[in-house]
């Protein structure tokens, strides 16, 4: 019987993939705390990646939801990079919870800008729009800054409820696709003109994180330079879904996985040049682990 022939894949790991700054900072602080303590309660998953969550769980991190937090007393609560609405901090104070606040600085600044913009808008009967995924942790935190008085826009059809004859301001979830944001702004301008409203009353704020937005053009180049792309991301990652589609748009042989055992040798031909990349919630150690398995095929 002949030995199985190796595929001799040429494997590259994208050096610009891996955790974004906000996630790196959050995980570092969580690990620092767990070096001295046995338990840390994280309000929501610190990162949308089950492999990394399992690693942190072994160190003592327990993920809880808002309902569980209401019954948590005299403990330490970890707030992840996504941020939280003011109501979370009020509940924590009532329950004597010490907070380790790891809200990303970019998200914190966005929350403040939304509060300031809303004050001006509300005085003039205007509408605050947030381009993002309804129910996403970051979006919940943003909407919470204005007591829910904002319209979340996921798709163009969501604009139908907006009064375009009044002042409008739009902000974006930090991990959205820049091209989708641009298309949305163009549509809003068109609807304002149709409604007879002055464009001077439209305030567009592209608040997509630069570290995230720069990955889109980079990943297009990366995907085009390889015959096969392995994109690594947790199933719950909003950013992962967007960046995977960016890769797929230039390379049809693009496969999305969460861990190494999902790799299929059938995806490859002999001598393929394989690129391994991932979302802002994907750890570099996992990308390297997957690359190592690919080199063994």
Angle at which helix 105-123 crosses helix 137-144, to 10 degrees, equals 40
> What domain count does the chain have?
3
CATH of the domain at 41: 3.40.50.11270
Task: Tell me what pLDDT residue 4 has.
Answer: 62
Task: Tell me what pLDDT residue 2 has.
Answer: 45
What are 119's two structure tokens? 């004050």
Low-confidence stretches of the chain (pLDDT beneath 50): 1-3
Task: Tell me what pLDDT residue 273 has.
Answer: 97
Task: Tell me what pLDDT residue 1 has.
Answer: 41
CATH of the domain at 170: 3.40.1010.20
Q: What is the pLDDT of residues 177-194, one digit of tens each?
A: 999 999 999 999 999 999
183 and 172 in a common domain: yes
Asked if residue 254 is part of any domain, the answer here is yes
Catalytic residue among 138, 187, 258, 262: 138
Last-in-domain residue among 103, 137, 169: 103
Asked if residue 172 is part of any domain, the answer here is yes
167 and 150 in a common domain: yes
Asked if residue 3 is part of any domain, the answer here is no
- Whole-model pTM: value is 0.87
Count of other CB atoms within 10 angstroms of residue 30: 22
191 and 221 in a common domain: no
Residue ranges making up the domain that contains 241: 10-18+212-296
β 98-101/61-64 pair status: unpaired
Asked if residue 1 is part of any domain, the answer here is no
Distance CA 267, CA 256 (A): 12
Last-in-domain residue among 83, 103, 123: 103
187 and 120 in a common domain: yes
**DSSP-derived secondary structure letter, 97:** P
Q: Is 138 considered catalytic here?
A: yes
């Amino acid at each position: 019987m002949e030995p199985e022939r190796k595929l001799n894949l040429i494997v590259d790991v994208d050096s610009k993939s891996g955790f974004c700054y906000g996630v790196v900072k959050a995980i570092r602080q969580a690990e620092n705390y767990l070096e001295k303590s046995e338990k840390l309660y994280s309000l929501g998953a610190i990162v949308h990646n089950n492999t990394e969550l399992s690693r942190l769980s072994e160190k003592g991190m327990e993920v809880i939801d808002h309902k569980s937090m209401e019954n948590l007393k005299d403990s330490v609560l970890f707030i992840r990079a996504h941020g939280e609405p003011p109501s979370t901090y009020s509940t924590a104070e009532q329950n004597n919870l010490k907070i380790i606040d790891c809200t990303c600085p970019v998200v914190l600044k966005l929350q403040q800008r939304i509060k300031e913009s809303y004050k001006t808008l509300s005085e003039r009967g205007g509408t605050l729009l947030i381009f993002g995924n309804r129910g996403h942790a970051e979006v919940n935190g943003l909407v919470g800054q204005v007591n829910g008085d904002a319209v979340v826009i996921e798709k163009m059809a969501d604009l139908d409820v907006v009064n375009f004859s009044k002042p409008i301001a739009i902000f974006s979830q930090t991990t959205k696709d820049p091209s989708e944001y641009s298309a949305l702004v163009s549509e809003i301008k068109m609807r304002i003109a149709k409604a007879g409203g002055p464009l001077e009353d439209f305030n567009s704020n592209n608040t997509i994180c630069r570290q995230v937005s720069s990955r889109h053009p980079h990943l297009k180049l990366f995907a085009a330079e390889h015959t096969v792309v392995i994109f690594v991301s947790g199933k719950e990652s909003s950013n992962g879904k967007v960046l995977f589609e960016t890769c797929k748009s230039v390379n049809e042989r693009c496969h999305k996985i969460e861990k190494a055992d999902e790799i299929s040798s059938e995806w490859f031909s002999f001598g393929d040049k394989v690129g391994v990349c991932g979302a802002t919630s994907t750890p570099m150690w996992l990308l390297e682990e997957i690359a190592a398995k690919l080199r063994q095929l």
